Structure formats: structure tokens, C-alpha cells
Amino acid sequence: MYNPSVSGGSATSVSGSRLFRYEVKGLRQNAETDKMDNPIRKSGSVFITVPYSRMNQEMQRITRMGGEIVSITPVNEADTNGQSAPAATQQDNGKSMTQATPKAKKKDVPVNLYKPKDPLIAKVISNEPLVGEGGSGIVQHIKIDLSGSDYHYVEGQSAGIIPDGTDEKGKPHKLRLYSIASTQHGDDMDDKTVSLCVRQLEYQDPESGETVYGTCSSFLCNIEPGAEVKVTGPVGKEMLLPDDEDAKIIMLATGTGIAPFRAYLWRMFKDAEREANPDYQFHGKAWLIFGVPYTANILYKEELEELQAKYPDNFELTYAISREQQNAEGGKMYIQNRVAENAARIWEMIQDPKTHTYMCGLKGMEDGIDAAMAAEAEKNGINWDDFRKQMKKEHRWHVETY
């Protein structure tokens, strides 16, 4: 029998003293296990109780011994009474791998205050370009006046926009959803505005070769201050921030996928926001990995770097600039390459139940990020798909891609 006492190490903090029970199968006899007093079982599961502070080391040890970790479940401290917990009955793969932290209070989240049949008629306050000289495409920061309405929202939600005009059938255009780029107080801190980050969609028609522009994105990117705009929503509960001020927030963004993360970071670190939110004084860890084609396409670059300089211990900013940087193989540096470079560190962070990972932007980045994390999980004897699904159940893995 594998002896869990060899994991050793004493926890010196509250988080480090939490216990987790590993269900392990497939341990094989080798030079390391030969040193133990008891034989390894040839079949069935072995249950090992491990303090949080030793989780990574134990995963690596189990992998060296040929074991496969079937599940990781938190041990109730009340049941352990300060001692190793007794072996539990066999658990299913669907059991919790980590202990989830409370999610945002969805009951307090406004949804569909204005619907497509009866949208809010708001006015545009400003429409500012975000792409610098030498950048690719057109991206605009659009601030909309909500005065006189009861439209309100929280960070991580989306707003619907119905563009003017009709489609080829003479019917009103359908709404398009855009991630909100401002905090719930708005850019002016008066609770009367909402801001969007919009890229004009542009592509070549495969048959005619003509350039086609997106209906709603073109409407917004070219709208003039003072013009009316039909707004619906807000919608969405997938990308909400946890209330925990000590949380670790990993943000993976491409292009305009920065929008919800701008809202998060402004809420966390902007002076006016911290003053307006005495009940939310973030002092955890926020890490943004941001993928863009050129430096000129780093949206909100100046403000992001100001926050990083002011809060170096709490905010980390990592760029993946595909047309200007190279990955380890000499190819273009995409966000999935940055994730692969940092996979070991990300893996260690997501073992902490206080860590939430958010992904927003182009859907194409998902497979590369999954591949990078799957390789790292395999090194630790864990199936990434199962682990990711478990994090999603615990409301710690959030994805909004298009």
C-alpha cells in the first residue's frame, strides 16, 4: 500500500492547511516504491490525503510512480479533527477536484431590462478610435448616455444594439451583442453611461471578391455623437467577477475581447472606482494575457500600463503580438503560444480554488489554449478535459468567444 505520510511538509497558513483527498489508480512497483514497507496494490484505488501546500509535489510524485489521479475532493476539516482523513469510498470522476469559491450573486444581476421589441432609445456621447497608426482595422470606443432610464448592468455583461435601417427583406435589422467595456458606474462614474469596444467587421466575399462590411459594427463605428441608438439588455451571467477581494483572476483576450477585462481592471484598480466601492478593495492577483497583431492594436494600452506600474504586485500584463514577436519555434506569437510558455505557472494557479480564468475574443484561440493546458495537465497525471469541466461546474472557468 502506498504510504501517504511520505508527502510530508507542514502547512503554515490557513489555505495551506486545507486537506484534499486524491483517488489514485495504477500505481506500479518501482525503485521508489520499493523503499516503502508495504506493497502496491495491483488493482483498485488508493486514497491519499494531502495538504494544499503539497498538492503539486504530490501530483508529480504520483505521476513518477505511474499512477493516475482519478479525482481530487476537499476534505471537511470538521471530519478530520486535525488528523489524516480515513479512506473514503470510491468516487466518480465527476466529483469536485477543487473546492469552489462563491460565485457572483446572480440574483442581483439585471437581465433584459430592455427587450428588442421595446429597446431603450439612447444617445451617443462620444466615439473615439482605439487603433494607433500602423495598426490593423478599425476599433472604436463608444460611450452611450443612459440618462432618464433604469438601464443598469454589472461588469461582465453584454448590451444589445439594433442598427438603424432594414435588411434585404425590408425587415428591421436584428440586434447584435457587444461586451460592455465599462464598469457599472460608467466611464464618467455617474451611473449614467455604458461603453462598448467595437471592431468594424470586414471580409472578402468568397464568390465576388468584394469587400463586405458588418451591418451593426459599421453602424456603430461610424455613428456620430448626439445620434440616437437602440439599446437592449443587459444580458449575460457567464463572465461575472467573484466578490472575493483576494481572488486570482486570469484573463485571456484577443482584440475587442479586452472589453470585459477593461471593466474588471478599472473596477479593481482605478482610483475613482476604489473610492466608490468601499466594499470591494481588490488586493488579489490579476493577470491579463492579451493577443493582438501589432503594438498599435493594443487597445487601452496607456491605461493598462499605468495600472500595471501602479499595482505591480497585483496586476500583471503580458502581450502576444503576432506580427512582431516570435514563438519558441520561430513562428508568429499568438495568445496560445504565450499560454504554452506559462502553462506550468497557470496550472499551479488554477489549483487554488480562489483562481478564476476568463477567456474572451476569437473562438479560434480555444483549441490552442486547451492543447497547451492539456500537455501541462498530463505532466501532472490529470486529464485536462475533465479538469476544465470541473472548473466550469465550480464557476471558475468562463468563456465568451465568437
In a domain, 88, yes or no: no
Active site residue 217: no
Same domain, 275 and 393: yes
301 labelled binding-site residue: no
Closest to 311 (Cα-Cα) out of 341, 349, 348, 273: 273
The burial class, CB within 10 Å (0-12 / 13-18 / 19+), for 88 is middle
362 labelled binding-site residue: yes
332 labelled binding-site residue: yes
Active-site residue identified among 197, 216, 221, 360: 360
12 labelled binding-site residue: no
Same domain, 160 and 223: yes
Domain count, the chain: 3
pLDDT at 23: 74
In a domain, 86, yes or no: no
CA neighbours closer than 13 Å in the CB half-sphere of residue 247? 26
Owner of C-alpha cell 471592431: 199
Active site residue 149: no
Same domain, 21 and 46: yes
pLDDT (tens place) for every residue of the chain, 402 residues total: 333 333 333 333 434 446 667 777 766 544 444 444 433 433 456 667 776 666 766 776 776 666 777 677 775 533 333 333 333 333 333 333 444 444 444 458 999 999 999 999 999 999 999 999 999 999 999 999 999 999 999 999 999 999 999 988 999 999 999 999 999 999 999 999 999 999 999 888 888 888 888 999 999 999 999 999 999 999 999 999 999 999 999 999 999 999 999 999 999 999 999 999 999 999 999 999 999 999 999 999 999 999 999 999 999 999 999 999 999 999 999 999 999 999 999 999 999 999 999 999 999 999 999 999 999 999 999 999 999 999 999 999 999 998
Backbone torsion region of residue 107, taken as left when φ is above 0, otherwise alpha when ψ lies between -120 and 50, otherwise beta: alpha
84 labelled binding-site residue: no
18 labelled binding-site residue: no
Q: Say if residues 397 and 102 touch (Cβ distance below 8 Å).
A: no
Domain at 128, CATH number: 2.40.30.10
Q: Range of 20's domain?
A: 4-80
In a domain, 96, yes or no: no
Same domain, 282 and 311: yes
Same domain, 215 and 312: no
Cα(173)–Cα(162) distance, rounded to whole angstroms? 6
Active site residue 13: no
From 235, 267, 287, give the residue that closes a domain.
235
Same domain, 201 and 259: no
86 labelled binding-site residue: no
Same domain, 318 and 388: yes
Q: Is the CA virtual torsion 333, 335, 337, 341 positive or negative?
A: positive
Cα(259)–Cα(51) distance, rounded to whole angstroms? 38
Domain at 47, CATH number: 3.30.1490.170
Active site residue 400: yes
In a domain, 242, yes or no: no
From 80, 102, 120, give the residue that closes a domain.
80
In a domain, 101, yes or no: no
Same domain, 267 and 348: yes
Closest to 334 (Cα-Cα) out of 344, 325, 346: 325
Domain at 295, CATH number: 3.40.50.80
What pTM value is reported for the model? 0.75
pLDDT at 2: 32
Same domain, 154 and 127: yes
Cα separations (Å) of 176 from 85, 179, 375?
Answer: 53, 10, 36
pLDDT at 69: 76
Q: Say if residues 297 and 335 touch (Cβ distance below 8 Å).
A: no
Same domain, 307 and 389: yes
Same domain, 143 and 226: yes
Cα(348)–Cα(54) distance, rounded to whole angstroms? 11
In a domain, 300, yes or no: yes
In 10 A of CB 164, how many CB atoms? 14
In a domain, 85, yes or no: no
In a domain, 321, yes or no: yes
Same domain, 381 and 320: yes
Each as own residue / partner, the long-range contacts of residues 80-84 (CB below 8 Å, 24 or more positions apart, any chain) are: 80/19, 80/49, 84/4, 84/5, 84/19, 84/49
Active-site residue identified among 7, 71, 158, 179: 179
Active site residue 179: yes
Active-site residue identified among 151, 178, 334, 358: 178
